Structure 1
Amino acid sequence: MTDLVIETAGLRKEYRTRRGTRVAVQSLDLAVPAGGVHGFLGPNGSGKTTTIRMLLGLARATRGTMRLFGEDVPRRLPQVIDRVGAVVESPKFSPNFTGRQNLQLLARTRGITGDRIDAALETVSLTGRDRDRYRTYSLGMKQRLAIAATLLKDPALLILDEPTNGLDPAGIREIRDTVRSLGASGVTVLLSSHILAEVQQVCTSATIIGHGRMLASGRVEDLLGASTAYRVRVADAEAAVRRLREEGLTVHPDNGVLRVETDRPASHVSRVLGEAQLWLEELTPLRPDLEEVFLELTSGEALGSGGGRA
């Protein structure tokens, strides 16, 4: 029994066009561990949606292998599909029905009890708004109802493809909170997005792709790496600059705030200043974010951020 929920090896997808063959996914090795939120990150057109469609049996791979819960897909997809929930495209709900009524219709077709409806609505924080008509919902609420629909069958894996597209900051925060709570509850969430800074706030692990190939994968904290700089604030900034530079540290002052670059731990910076009777008001590690990591990984490549979803 594998502890990986999603596995791909050498996955490739080609499309025939009038101009020849277009490669959407090339030699992609993807490994998503059980539990938590795994970010599937890259610009629009990088192959995220195509990969998800292949995993769900909606597109055929040109070559390579795929597994969900250790089962080969698409051959064994019927055996595991009930454990998978996915929001890949905009769901079709009746605008004149309430949120609850829309879920009740889905539940009846699947033989699901009302208890699951209540649990799904509570998970996505729509309890209290479930009897409002769907047409009155904000975009964020509509997206949360779509997630609730996938939760009716209590999936072990939830795949979300660009769930915050078109949402305002309030809607993005709502989806972020929902995804975070799902990951904490034990559901494995594969979160596809091109908004790297946003995803960083909820993901425990991530895979970054570009031009259909993997650029990096692992725990988010490992991808970000150790801090090599600190934000430092003391009462006497000039004296602090002199003392830190005497110690051989690189210091960049900016209106009384110091950026100290060093591979030494924070305790070293604190000790150097303390021995000089310069007491810290702030000592904050400065770490790169996922967007900076991505830009570094793709430096020198012509990775576009526009175009359609692929």
Structure 2
Amino acid sequence: MSDLVIETTGLRKEFRTRRGGLRVAVQSLDLAVPAGGVHGFLGPNGSGKTTTIRMLLGLARATKGSMRLFGTAVPHGLPGVIDQVGAVVESPKFSPNFTGRQNLQLLARTRGIDAGRIDHALATVSLTGRDRDRYKSYSLGMKQRLAIAATLLKDPALLILDEPTNGLDPAGIREIRDTIRTLGEAGVTVLLSSHILAEVQQICDSVTIIGNGRMLASGRVDDLLGASNVYRVRVTDHERAAHLLEEAGFAVEPDHGVMRVETDRPPADITRVLGESQLWLEELTAVRPDLETVFLELTSGEALGQGEVK
């Protein structure tokens, strides 16, 4: 069995336009999601994220290419693996006058799922204590967490979430982030489609970035961000410190009351140069690019949408 939970090769999806042409939504996409942890699936609006997810779940037909879930070819083999997959792709449909628990009880009965899993699902998404409130009284964040709880009833090994924080306030985003982190730490593989880069960076172990339906970068978050050769330096005498560091061959720039020091040498050399002149560091911090910076650099020419092929 493959150690990849999701694998696509040369995946392509075309749509026929009203003018008789073809719009390519996904092109030659090779996606590899390893087992365990949280994998971010990132791209500008219209880049093909949702289309890819719909093809994986058998909700849309691929024009070309192959897909595998847990090593099984889909959509042909989807019935054999679907019980291992949970997904929140569209707005959940729950009865507004039922409580959260009653909605899950109804869902469990219709799907033949042991009702004993309801308490565990509610606890995982931190809805214990609010489960007897009516669904219509839930905040948007609580509704999203109940949707995730519904997918957890069948104890999936893979959870696919398509933009789960859309429309949420900061508190709701934090709730969903905490839920996803808990699931990843518990051994569930989570594929998280999102455009909120700061949130993704906090919870994802690896990411795939796409633009115009094709992969732009993929790998562990730390590897994509890369090693830093810029350091934020604070001392009591910036002018004297800058002079000493420049004499020692460092590139120094002032930066709002601190210094930015660029070098390929180890940061211990900064400490040594200043310490030898009795200047002691108050701060020495590596300045790394964040995921948003990497994302914008990769997608700067990709956000115009897919072209039409005649």
Please give the range of the TM-score, normalised by the shorter of the 2 chains: over 0.9
* 1:151 matched residue in structure 2: 152
Offset of 1:198 from its aligned partner? Answer: 1.7
Q: Take 1:270 and 1:137, find their aligned partners in 2: how far apart are those partners?
A: 54
* 1:121 matched residue in structure 2: 122
* 1:308 matched residue in structure 2: none
Q: 2:27 aligned with 1:58, yes or no?
A: no
Offset of 1:98 from its aligned partner? Answer: 0.5
Query: In the TM superposition, what whole-angstrom CA distance separates every residue of 1:38-97 from its partner, at most 9, and x where no partner exists?
Result: 000011100000000000000000000000000000010000000000000000001111
* 2:243 matched residue in structure 1: 242
Query: In the TM superposition, what whole-angstrom CA distance separates every residue of 1:168-202 from its partner, at most 9, and x where no partner exists?
Result: 00000000000011000000000001122221110
For 2:5, the aligned partner's letter is V
Q: Take 2:103 and 2:257, find their aligned partners in 1: how far apart are those partners?
A: 57
Offset of 1:123 from its aligned partner? Answer: 0.4
- 110-119 or 214-223, which deviates more: 110-119
Structure 2 residue runs without a partner (length 5+): 306-310
Segments of 4+ in structure 1 off by > 6 A?
Answer: none
* 1:208 matched residue in structure 2: 209
Query: In the TM superposition, what whole-angstrom CA distance separates every residue of 1:210-246 from its partner, at most 9, and x where no partner exists?
Result: 0000000000000000012111111111111111111
Q: How does 1:61-80 map to 2 (within 5 A)?
A: 61-80=62-81
Answer whether contact 1:104 1:114 (CA < 8 A) is retained: yes
For 2:13, the aligned partner's letter is K
* 2:285 matched residue in structure 1: 284
* 1:161 matched residue in structure 2: 162
* 1:219 matched residue in structure 2: 220
> Could you say what secondary structure the match of 1:295 adopts?
helix
* 2:113 matched residue in structure 1: 112
- 79-88 or 264-273, which deviates more: 264-273
Q: Take 1:302 and 1:284, find their aligned partners in 2: how far apart are those partners?
A: 33
> Could you say what secondary structure the match of 1:206 adopts?
strand
* 2:174 matched residue in structure 1: 173
TM-score, normalization by structure 1: 0.96
Q: Take 1:105 and 1:48, find their aligned partners in 2: how far apart are those partners?
A: 31
Structure 1 residue runs without a partner (length 5+): 306-310
Offset of 1:150 from its aligned partner? Answer: 0.2
Answer whether contact 1:27 1:64 (CA < 8 A) is retained: yes
Answer whether contact 1:231 1:286 (CA < 8 A) is retained: yes
* 1:13 matched residue in structure 2: 13
- Cα 1:298–1:53 shift into 2, 3 Å: same
Answer whether contact 2:33 2:39 (CA < 8 A) is retained: yes
Answer whether contact 2:109 2:115 (CA < 8 A) is retained: no
For 2:266, the aligned partner's letter is P
Offset of 1:302 from its aligned partner? Answer: 4.5
Q: CA RMSD in A?
A: 1.3
- 270-279 or 47-56, which deviates more: 270-279
Q: Take 2:112 and 2:299, find their aligned partners in 1: how far apart are those partners?
A: 48
Q: Take 2:260 and 2:102, find their aligned partners in 1: how far apart are those partners?
A: 56
* 1:265 matched residue in structure 2: 266
Structure 1 vs Structure 2: percent identity of aligned residues? 81
TM-score, normalization by structure 2: 0.96
For 2:7, the aligned partner's letter is E
- 262-271 or 19-28, which deviates more: 262-271
Query: In the TM superposition, what whole-angstrom CA distance separates every residue of 1:135-186 from its partner, at most 9, and x where no partner exists?
Result: 1100000000000000000000000000000000000000000001100000
- 45-54 or 103-112, which deviates more: 103-112
For 1:21, the aligned partner's letter is L
Offset of 1:303 from its aligned partner? Answer: 1.4
For 1:196, the aligned partner's letter is L
Answer whether contact 2:56 2:75 (CA < 8 A) is retained: yes
For 2:202, the aligned partner's letter is Q
Offset of 1:283 from its aligned partner? Answer: 1.0
> Could you say what secondary structure the match of 1:277 adopts?
coil
* 2:131 matched residue in structure 1: 130
> Could you say what secondary structure the match of 1:129 adopts?
coil
